[in-house]
Amino acid sequence: MTKRKSDGTVGPWAREKLDALGEYLNFYTTVLKNQAHWCRGTVFVDAFAGPGKSKVRAIPKSSEPKREDFFDDVVPMTDDEEGDEFVNGSPRVALDIKNPFNNYFFIERDPQRVAELRTLAGDYGDTRKIVVKEGDASAELLAILGSKANWSGYRGVIFVDPFGMHIPWSTLEALAKTRVFEIIINFPLGMAIQRFLIRHGEIPANWAATLDDFFGSPDWRLHAYESSDTLFGSDTVKLADSGKRLLEWYLGRLKDAFGHVSPARLIRNTQGGHLYYLIWAGPHPKGLDGARAILGKGDEVRAPRKRPTAKR
């Protein structure tokens, strides 16, 4: 259903995401450095790591891609042509912070990107402890969680940056239960979720199952659609503010699961189109202070004080 890009580039908006990530990771490891007496180790997991470095697309305004073209916004690098601009992907951003993590895990499903990540790990030699895992993000995250009987005394950040709805809610709940891990997550409202929420509400069963898994509840329907009675019977229509309602509901669910949630920072394309939101969630108020300062910049949406009531 989606035309996938394969020209080895990222949109210029990737920088905003990567800058916010780097800023937060710097904040996090600096705070923890001062608490080293009790911290047994720090962990960074990049659950959708990408290739590690990508070429930035030059986009003349008139030919900027339409929303469906953003579905695959990072693809492996091609040749380094002279004059091209490259951006370090999230793995390098995390590796290059001032006070590095003790352990790095990079998860990636695409074999070519995995090979690039292994080369990247080699570039850092013994200076960083890096494990590259080829496989599905959710399965590998659960395997990492299961790899230690006792995580107490550890602290970690997990970056969840998929193209679409590729992280089930149940996996986020498992991470939250540890009270060790924080997440920074890409909520792909413009890139994936709205594409599934077709206007008349008759969503194919496999799309509905994806939405159920992603939200961890079938109640997304109540935030996205309403039924009205017409002369010809009951009619289902999409709510005009479905995006805002779904985001607020998801923020509330993250807050319930993790304890704290930041405002959601909107990432737009160069024409102002909405792509996705970056959200932090975690168990500690100090983390929230840092995340709020970073993700509270620019466009943002906050978790409602009172949970939004779904229209029935």
Please report, as ranges, the residues that interact with ligand SAM according to CB under 6 A.
18, 48-50, 73-74, 89-90, 107-110, 113, 136-137, 161-163, 166
C-beta closer to ligand SAM: residue 50 or 287 = 50
CB of 91 to ligand SAM, least distance (A): 7
User: Would you say 280 and 261 are in contact if contact means Cβ atoms under 8 Å apart?
Assistant: yes
Q: Please, which residue, 161 or 182, has the CB nearer to ligand SAM? A: 161
Nearest-CB residue for ligand SAM? 89
Q: State in angstroms the smallest separation of the CB of 46 from ligand SAM.
A: 6
Rounded to whole angstroms, the Cα distance separating 64 from 55 reads: 16
What backbone phi and psi angles, to 5 degrees, belong to 181? Answer: -100, 140
Residue 163 and residue 214 in contact, taking contact as beta carbons nearer than 8 Å: no
**Residue placing its CB nearer to ligand SAM in the complex, 224 or 266:** 266
User: Between residues 281 and 303, which has the closer beta carbon with respect to ligand SAM?
Assistant: 281
Shortest distance in whole angstroms from residue 110 CB to ligand SAM? 4
Strand ranges, E, within the chain: 9-10, 41-46, 53-56, 86-88, 103-108, 130-134, 154-160, 181-187, 225-230, 233-238, 260-261, 264-268, 274-282, 300-301
Q: What six digits make up the tokens of 168?
A: 């089930």
Residue 166 CB, shortest distance to ligand SAM, in Å, is 5
Residue 161 vs 248, nearer CB to ligand SAM:
161
Q: Which amino acid is at 249?
A: W
Q: What are phi and psi of 196, to 5 degrees?
A: -85, -25
Query: What's the token pair of residue 233?
Result: 């019977």
Task: Kindly state the smallest distance separating residue 140's Cβ from ligand SAM, in Å.
Answer: 7
What is the nearest approach in angstroms of ligand SAM to the Cβ of residue 37?
Answer: 32
Beta carbon nearer to ligand SAM, 53 or 245: 53
Residue 119 backbone class (left: φ over 0; alpha: ψ -120 to 50; beta: rest): alpha
